[in-house]
Amino acid sequence: MALLSCTIAAFGAAPAGAADHVHADPGGDAKGRLDLIGASLVQDGPGLTLTMITSGHIPAASLPDGQRGTLCAAFAWGDPSAARRRLCVVSQADGLIVHDNTLSPTTGKITGQRTRSGLVTQSGPRLSIALDPQALEIPLGALRWNVRSTWHRGADCVNTAPATTTTRTGAIAAAGLDQGLGCVDTLPDSGTFAGRVSRAIAAGCLPSSGQVFNGPRARKVVALTFDDGPSTFTPSYVKILAANNARATFFQIGQQVLGQGAIERAILAGGNAIGNHTWNHANVSGGGGAAQSQISRTSATLSSVTGGYKPCIFRPPYGATSSSLVSVSSGLGLKSILWDVDTNDWQLPGMAAIISRAVGGARSGSIILMHDGGGPRGGTQAAIAPIIRQLRAKGYGFVTVPQLLGLKDRWRYSNS
């Protein structure tokens, strides 16, 4: 029925930046509304996106509702004969949802079912499901997958192979799925595709440009930012953030980063972001080659000590910015990040003043300026936990600057 017309080697080995590799299936090999013409499984960060492409756009309301057919992807890992998970797109009055079935490794029968919403997006004939391998209990490593559509006999189902002779899809069989259904399309025609879930490692963000003083005001989140590190205070900041389940952004000075890979990796391991704050805290508002050298040298050092993290945000020392500087930083793929709440903690006003300036000044989308380097930072250090508690009590969440601005993450993938 289905002819697999491309190899599958591209998937899994290098998901980062890999093209959205589509396994093609000729249109019309199963004549009906759910004729599958392609499928892909792509890793993007810790998540996977499974896309099924039908031969034409199907209005959401006409997609299977669980009674008149199915449109499913199945996943297996470990023992080659095992079927472990099947996800079916189902149309309901309030939108497209996913029936998430756990299947018996021996019989293929459903042993558990959950309903998941908010995972499906439809764009023309493409239906994509966002998968969280952890939530689906799919382990890191090799997996096998296939996709399958079934629908009832009728005007839509010209290819009326009797249900009883329907070919099963090789290693991932789905007992009972085809009863009473006349048309089936599978991809691949038999067997499965090889895939892999790799460990995703935060590697910064994709190139960005321009300059902002704050994030969007619609969401009740703020970005705590700490400048002028790393310093001897930085590890304790990272611990306090983790203990309070909050994330922040550290704008770091390149020459201080040298030899401090452990601190940098600890910052990232806590889910925090790192930004570029020049090589030696120079005023680079004049732009030009001097600014370019200060910034690019710092990014290169950050990448080297972290094993590949590339920042996409830059904060000009002293807030000394200019259009020529923004043009230099943008050219290097970095968005210039100022702030709208200044604690002036560098003047050492004491913990209470730092807390009240941060909490009193914060609004939705605020970028709050503090420091972890450049002087004795005991006051700021003591203020972090109270600031988080008080802002959280007011309903604020804590995000990194790239998250606040919706900048796209870069990931590296490891199969070890």
Phi, psi at residue 129, to the nearest 5°? -115, 125
The CB density around residue 318, as the number of other CB atoms within 10 Å, is 11
Sign of CA dihedral 134, 139, 142, 148: negative
Residue 74 three-state SS: strand
Kindly indicate which of the ranges 22-30, 153-161, 239-247, 310-318 contains the residues binding Zn ion, using the contact rule CB under 5 A.
Answer: 310-318
Stretch that binds Zn ion, among 44-52, 77-85, 200-208, 220-228 (CB under 5 A): 220-228
Query: For Zn ion, which is the closer residue by CB, 105 or 287?
Result: 287
Please classify residue 32 by burial: count the beta carbons closer than 10 Å to its beta carbon, then call 0-12 exposed, 13-18 middle and 19+ buried: buried
C-alpha distances (whole Å) from 409 to each of 149, 206, 225, 234, 312 are: 33, 6, 18, 23, 9
Q: Give the separation between CA 203 and CA 45, rounded to whole angstroms.
A: 10
Tokens at residue 33, please?
């509304």
CB under 5 A: which stretch of 14-22, 121-129, 283-291, 312-320 binds Zn ion? 312-320
Phi, psi for residue 329 in degrees, rounded to 5: -65, -40
- 365 in contact with Zn ion (CB under 5 A): no
Piece in contact with Zn ion (CB under 5 A), picked from 93-101, 128-136, 268-276, 315-323 = 315-323
> Of 208 and 252, which has the nearer Cβ to Zn ion?
252
| Minimum separation from the CB atom of position 319 to Zn ion (A) | 8
Q: Is 227 in the site for Zn ion (CB under 5 A)?
A: yes
* Candidates 25, 345, 371, 372; catalytic one: 371
- Judged by CB under 5 A, the chain residues 103 through 122 that form the site for Zn ion are none
In whole angstroms, what is the distance from residue 367 CA to residue 403 CA? 12
CB of 278 to Zn ion, least distance (A): 8
Distance CA 208, CA 297 (A): 18
Asked if the bond preceding 230 is cis, omega within 30° of 0, the reply is yes
Instruction: Return the exposure string of 94-122: e unless at least 16 CB atoms fall within 10 Å of the residue's CB, then b.
Output: eebbbbbbbbeeeebebeeeeebeebbeb
Residues 146-175, one symbol each (x = binds Zn ion by CB under 5 A, - = not), give ------------------------------
**Exposure b/e, 145-163, CB count within 10 A at least 16 = b:** bbbbbbbbbeebbebeeeb
Minimum CB distance to Zn ion smaller for 54 or for 256: 256
- Smallest distance, Å, CB 227 to Zn ion? 4
Residue 309: CB minimum distance to Zn ion, A: 20
Q: Residue 361 CB, nearest distance to Zn ion (Å)?
A: 19
Interface region with Zn ion, contact rule CB under 5 A, candidates 96-104, 266-274, 314-322, 389-397: 314-322
Total residues in contact with Zn ion, by rule CB under 5 A = 3
Residue 154 identity (one-letter amino acid): G
Which among 216-224, 225-233, 326-334, 398-406 is the span making contact with Zn ion, rule CB under 5 A? 225-233
- Please give the Cα distance from 11 to 187 (Å, whole number): 15
Contact with Zn ion (CB under 5 A) among 35, 228, 372, 409: 228
Nearer to Zn ion, 150 or 278 (CB): 278
Selected catalytic residue, list 35, 227, 372, 409 = 227
Question: With respect to Zn ion, which residue has the nearer C-beta, 148 or 377?
Answer: 377
Q: Active site includes 371?
A: yes
Token digits of residue 293: 């050298």
Number of residue whose CB is nearest Zn ion: 227
Q: Which residue, 227 or 409, has its beta carbon nearer to Zn ion?
A: 227
Per-residue burial over 5-20, b if 16 or more Cβ lie within 10 Å, else e, is eeeeeebbeebeeeee
Of 254, 317, 379, 402, the residue at the interface with Zn ion (CB under 5 A) is 317
| For Zn ion, the closer CB: 25 or 228 | 228
Distances (CA, A) of 96 to 62, 67, 220, 233: 11, 14, 28, 49
Q: How far is the CB of 260 from Zn ion (least distance, A)?
A: 17
* Min CB(273)–Zn ion separation in Å: 16
Please report how close the Cβ of residue 287 comes to Zn ion at its closest, in angstroms.
18
| Residue closer to Zn ion (CB basis): 131 or 267 | 267
Residues with a catalytic annotation lie at: 227, 371
- Where does this chain bind Zn ion (CB under 5 A)? 227-228, 317
